[in-house]
Structure 1
Amino acid sequence: MKLELRRLGPSTWYVPGRVNVGYYEEEGRGYLIDSGLDDDQGRRLLNLIRSERGVPLRAIVNTHSNADHVGANAFIQGRTGCEVWATRIEAALTECTTLEPLFLWGAFPFPQIRDKFVEAKPSRAAFIGNSGPIRDTRLSAVPLPGHFLDMIGVRTPDDVLFLADALFDPAVLNKYRFMVMLDVRRGRETLEWLEREPAAWYVPCHAPASQDIRELVRRNREALDWVADAVWTALESPSSREDVLARLAVENGLSMDASHLLLNLCCVGAHLTALAEAGRAEPHVEGGRLLWRRTERPRAASA
């Protein structure tokens, strides 16, 4: 697929692809918003920017540290000397990319989950806050909690709001069924915020740019609700996190490799945490297994 810059405002473009990448210019310098998966993507992005814009690249602003968003950082940084900016915890994973497969597996990762789709090449990263102005630019960070550890969106002065992985295309949701979500409660808050937040353009990383995202928010909320209901149904009898995922996989014909399975286990775990926070389920250890069972929310004491 040939890369192209699509203009959304006087100083703002995006590059459509498997991961939509943002591009912004200010005072004769360029800024990427995420970089894509690998060296090939980085090479093609640089060639595109040089041929069509011809300005030096100052920085890559990473919305979060998933490999498909930071995988081209190292190549681009090596070729241009540009900076990489990310929130503190996402910067840590951007610099030490082994941390992502490590926390997915819960131990030092085995080789099959250390490919470029999970473990990107490391790049040097500097910290930015998750809200407000980004360094000495006119870009602004907005917190988008839920999907990952400290994910942000980026708003440009042209009122273009880059949304990272806060929303997914319905085709993606229908194919994979799971929305990767580490914090369900805060993910729901992000959807509510997006429904109310005005912008001239919205650019999710895994859905087309749009001037109206209300329907996309609705579809994503439905997908989140579907997983929540499926996890609750699976707790008809005490079940482990693996039991819950296995039931959902069999019932819905889901095919997964090791990396995909571990991501889905994180998602199931996030829903179990949400049930525990709501007082609807609790964990217990039985026969050397961590099982989850339904429970009633404690009633408030009468006055």
Structure 2
Amino acid sequence: MYELVKIGSNSYYINCPAKIGLYVDHDNEVYLVDSGSDKDAGRKVRQILEKNNWYLKAILNTHSNADHIGGNRYLQHQTGCKIYAPGIDCDFTRHPLLEPSFLYGGYPPKDLRHKFLMAQESDAEYLNAEVLPDGMTMLPLPGHFFDMVGYRDADDVVYLADCLSSKETLKKYQIGFIYDVAAYLNTLEMVKTLEASMFVPAHAEATNDISLLAQLNIDKVHEIAEKILLLCRKPLCFEHILQKLFNEYGLTMNFEQYVLVGSTVRSYLAWLKDTGKINVNFESSLPLWSNT
């Protein structure tokens, strides 16, 4: 774990639970794509930098989920590096309490205020093209989270963040987190057509062909949507839909899964409602979702 893998003349990734991209610019200046899950991840990254006599110029966050920004604070304090994050995700990076609050829909209980869902604050600035090293471009990847981006570097390596999951992850967790289902599907359709020397998804193996995995993720979204539509042949409240999905997929309910999968199922319901496939009616002060 935390092995440095070279994939281009100046391109690497650090193999860890949420892969960290690493690009070496001139004068041994390094740009990281994300920073890992916590202070310990940041410490291991710093050791890799020191071993190679590299200087950390900036962290380029793809989005603000805690497992991608958890090393920010430590590395910034240790190196003085800049941190950049895209759009709304920059605000979440500055104020990480926003993530569990968003997921829970109110002030989160202590069960949700921990490093898995809430990183430490870091002094992030808004990402723009001018702060990137020569030859690197941003790749908008909305859907999984608010303003998530990926990056294509000068070696034609594409870092894909959380826009898709491995086959094994899909099989284990079944319902991956999605904020905007329509945007997520559009992103996957775009990613399916991309070509690059190497693709580095955060939660799947690096590969030079991403199309099959993109399609697998697309198929999973449609599978879940169909299950929801079948469940809603008779009117159901949200909690019962969620319960039936957990039972259908053999998932284990705990507070974290309740908010992560629950938020995602609400996103599916919103998408299905906006596309005219499902309705919500309020009966006896209870919102009931039904297949149209």
* Equivalent residues, number: 290
Query: Counterpart of 2:88 in structure 1: which amino acid?
Result: I
Deviations 1:148-187 (A, max 9, x none): 1110001101000000001101111001100211111111
Residue 93 (1) aligns with residue 89 (2): no
Residue 110 (1) aligns with residue 98 (2): no
**Mind listing any 5+ residue stretches in structure 1 that lack a counterpart?**
296-303
**Aligned equivalents of 2:271 and 2:191: distance in 1?**
21
**Aligned equivalents of 2:76 and 2:253: distance in 1?**
33
**Any residues of structure 2 matched to 1:148-163 within 5 Å, and which?**
148-163=145-160
Deviations 1:23-63 (A, max 9, x none): 00112211110011011110011101210x21210110000
Of residues 189, 197, 213, the one that matches 2:186 is 189
* Conserved? CA contact 1:134–1:141, under 8 Å: no
**Any residues of structure 2 matched to 1:60-99 within 5 Å, and which?**
60-99=59-98
* Conserved? CA contact 2:37–2:67, under 8 Å: yes
- Residue 249 (structure 1) shift: 0.8
Determine helix, strand or coil for the equivalent of 1:32.
strand
Aligned to 2:30: 30
Aligned to 1:205: 202
Aligned to 2:50: 50
**Aligned equivalents of 1:104 and 1:238: distance in 2?**
25
Deviations 1:8-28 (A, max 9, x none): 111110011111100001122
* Conserved? CA contact 2:280–2:288, under 8 Å: yes
**Aligned equivalents of 1:247 and 1:134: distance in 2?**
48
Query: Counterpart of 1:179 in structure 2: which amino acid?
Result: G
Determine helix, strand or coil for the equivalent of 2:7.
strand
**What is the TM-score when the length of structure 2 is the normalising length?**
0.96
**Aligned equivalents of 1:174 and 1:256: distance in 2?**
17
- Residue 190 (structure 1) shift: 0.7
* Conserved? CA contact 1:134–1:140, under 8 Å: no
**Aligned equivalents of 1:55 and 1:190: distance in 2?**
34
**Aligned equivalents of 1:18 and 1:169: distance in 2?**
12
**Aligned equivalents of 1:257 and 1:78: distance in 2?**
34
Q: Post-superposition, which runs of at least 4 consecutive aligned residues in structure 1 deviate over 4 A?
A: none
**Aligned equivalents of 1:228 and 1:8: distance in 2?**
37
**Aligned equivalents of 2:50 and 2:35: distance in 1?**
15
Residue 137 (1) aligns with residue 133 (2): yes
* Conserved? CA contact 1:32–1:61, under 8 Å: yes
Residue 284 (1) aligns with residue 281 (2): yes
**Aligned equivalents of 1:45 and 1:195: distance in 2?**
31
**Aligned equivalents of 1:236 and 1:107: distance in 2?**
30
- Residue 294 (structure 1) shift: 2.2
**Aligned equivalents of 1:289 and 1:72: distance in 2?**
42
**Aligned equivalents of 1:236 and 1:168: distance in 2?**
30
Of residues 246, 249, 262, the one that matches 2:246 is 249
**Mind listing any 5+ residue stretches in structure 2 that lack a counterpart?**
none
**Aligned equivalents of 2:239 and 2:122: distance in 1?**
34
**Aligned equivalents of 2:143 and 2:160: distance in 1?**
12
Residue 260 (1) aligns with residue 257 (2): yes
Q: Which sits farther off after the overlay, 20-29 or 250-259?
A: 250-259
**Aligned equivalents of 1:114 and 1:97: distance in 2?**
10
* Conserved? CA contact 1:179–1:223, under 8 Å: no
